[in-house]
Every structure is written in C-alpha cells, then in structure tokens.
Amino acid sequence: MTADRQDVPRRRGHATAAAALAWLAVGAALAAVLYTGLRRGLGTVFPVTAVRVEGTVRTDPEAVRRAAGIAPGTPLFGIDVERVQRAAEGLPWVRSARVVRQVPGTVRIAVTEWEPRYLLRAERLVYLTAEGHVVAAPVVPGDDLPVVTGITPAELHRNAGVREALLGLLARIGDDLAGEPVGEVHVSPDDGFTVYTARRAVRFGFGRIDEKLARLERLDRHLARTGRRARTVDLDFEDRIVARVEPGALSGGRR
C-alpha cells in the first residue's frame, strides 16, 4: 500500500511534465504560424517603393539597382538581403555592399568601392588597387595613373612572391619617387622592378626597398650639390650605385 501511494506523486509529476512539454510544442507552433503570418502581412503592408543606392563614385547607381533585381511592389520583408548584397558585390568597382530594409518601403544599398591606384597593362589596360585587386573595367579617359608593365593580371595572381614584392614597392613610393611623378613601374622576372619618371629610370631589382630608397636619396643630394642629375640609376648592387648622369659628368659613384 505504501509503495502504491508513493507512485501516485511520481505519476502526477510525469503527467505535469508531459503537459508542460505539450504546451511548449503548441506555443512554438503558434509562434511559427504567427511569425509567418506577420512576415506575409508586413510584405503586403510594406511593398517596396524605392531602392536607394549610396556611396557610388565610379559605379552607375542604376547598375546596382539592375543587379539587385528588386521590382517595385516586391514585399519589403520578402527580399533576400544576402542575395542582393552578393549581386551588388559582383559589380567590378564594388568592394563591399550593405543592404538595409527601411519601413515603409525603401531598400538602401550602401556600397564601398575599390580605389584605383595604378593601371595594369595586359591585353588592355585595367585598374590595380593598392591591395593588388584587379578591376577589369574600361579605363576612363583622363585617369592619369602610373602604369605597371611586364606582368599580366593572371601572372600577378599566380606569383604570390612577385605580387607581394610589387605591392610593397608601390606602397613605399606611391605615385611619386623622390619628388618626381611615377609614369611606369616595369616588372621583370630577371631584373626585378624598374621605376620610370619623366626624368630618369631607377632600377630597384628585388628586395631591400627601404635601404635602396635611402641610397637614392643620398645620391640625389650629392648630385644636387654639383648641379647634376642622373638619367639612369641602378640600385641593385650590394656595395655601389651605378648611375648615368647627364652629359659632361662622371658616370658612377659609391654609396
């Protein structure tokens, strides 16, 4: 008799737990139904009336809208935000995109674009960023940027060592070498890098860029004191600088 009486509370406890679980299941199902209904309702109440594009400089905002593919009247909360983001980021100049839905009916697409720093000569000119990203967009007339020659985008992508060395050099010199605008940076598998300005050609080779820039600065100071300028400079030697100065001057020097 005592054992039977002890089993009664246990059975009641099991029944209470089962009932609680059942109510939880019913509540979860009801919440899902309400959520689905709410989304459908919001979509009906808040149709898209405008797609606003922000942050474009080189990208046509209309191209972003076409890529997004959001038709007027589309349910605002039925839009696949990640799909729209990927579509916008598939455009040549778009580095990243952020998509925001705004009640009552606006989709805002904020883009960040790649910043071109150089032109890269391949079958045709393309843009190159400071990060080494190639933007395969038609070059705009008037974009007066230094040109990187001697290497194609595919070779730049395959050869990580050359790519990192080139980006390191470009980061150090930018578009100005010792006060002279850079016109061309030539890449040679054998000779390394040669930088051309309107006045001279400076061969850096590979490696020790900071050291070579310091040596070039010392050479320029020395030549300035004597009123001379070097037409070509080869910095790719351990113990000397080889320079060809303007006619009537000596042709070489030590560090």
Pick from 195, 205, 202: nearest CA to 236 = 205
**H runs (alpha helix) in the chain:** 2-45, 61-68, 81-89, 153-158, 160-173, 209-225
More confident residue, 39 or 231: 231
Mean pLDDT across the chain: 85
pLDDT of residue 250: 46
pLDDT of residue 122: 74
Rounded CA Rg of the chain:
33
- What CA–CA distance (Å, rounded) separates 231 from 240? 17
Burial of 189 (0-12, 13-18, 19+ CB in 10 A): exposed
User: CB count, 10 Å around CB of 228?
Assistant: 15
- pLDDT above 70 covers a percentage of the chain that reads 80
pLDDT of residue 44: 62
User: CB count, 10 Å around CB of 115?
Assistant: 15
| The pairing of beta strand 106-113 with beta strand 230-234 | unpaired
Domains 50-113 and 116-254 share a fold: no
Helices (H) and strands (E) in the chain, counts: 6, 14
- Distance set, CA 238 to CA 177, 218, 251 (Å): 21, 15, 18
Identify the band that residue 130 occupies on the pLDDT scale cut at 50, 70 and 90: very high
Mean pLDDT over 166-187 rounds to 91
Q: Is the pLDDT of residue 3 over 70?
A: no
Ranking 51-60, 73-82, 220-229, 245-254 by mean pLDDT, the lowest is: 245-254
Residues of 72-106 as b/e, b for ≥16 C-beta within 10 angstroms?
A: eebbbbebeeeebbebbeebbbbbebebebeeebe
Identify the band that residue 181 occupies on the pLDDT scale cut at 50, 70 and 90: very high
Bridge partners, 244 (sequence order): 232
CATH-assigned architecture of domain 116-254:
3-Layer(aba) Sandwich (3.40)
| Secondary structure (3-state) at 137 | coil
pLDDT of residue 251: 42
Mean pLDDT over 135-149 rounds to 91
pLDDT digits (tens, 9 = 90+) for 68-86: 999 999 999 999 999 999 9
Q: Return the domain boundaries, the chain.
A: 1-45, 50-113, 116-254
pLDDT of residue 166: 94
Phi/psi at 50 (5° precision) = -155, 140
| The pairing of beta strand 180-188 with beta strand 147-149 | parallel
- DSSP per-residue letters across 52-91: EEES-SSS-HHHHHHHHT--TT-BGGGS-HHHHHHHHHTS
State in words which class domain 50-113 has: alpha beta
pLDDT of residue 42: 54
Furthest C-alpha separation in the chain: 125
Q: Is the pLDDT of residue 61 over 80?
A: yes
More confident residue, 4 or 62: 62
| C-alpha dihedral (46, 63, 116, 96), degrees to nearest 10 | 30
Ranking 8-12, 33-37, 182-186 by mean pLDDT, the lowest is: 8-12
Q: Is the pLDDT of residue 20 over 90?
A: no
One-letter amino acid at 31 equals A
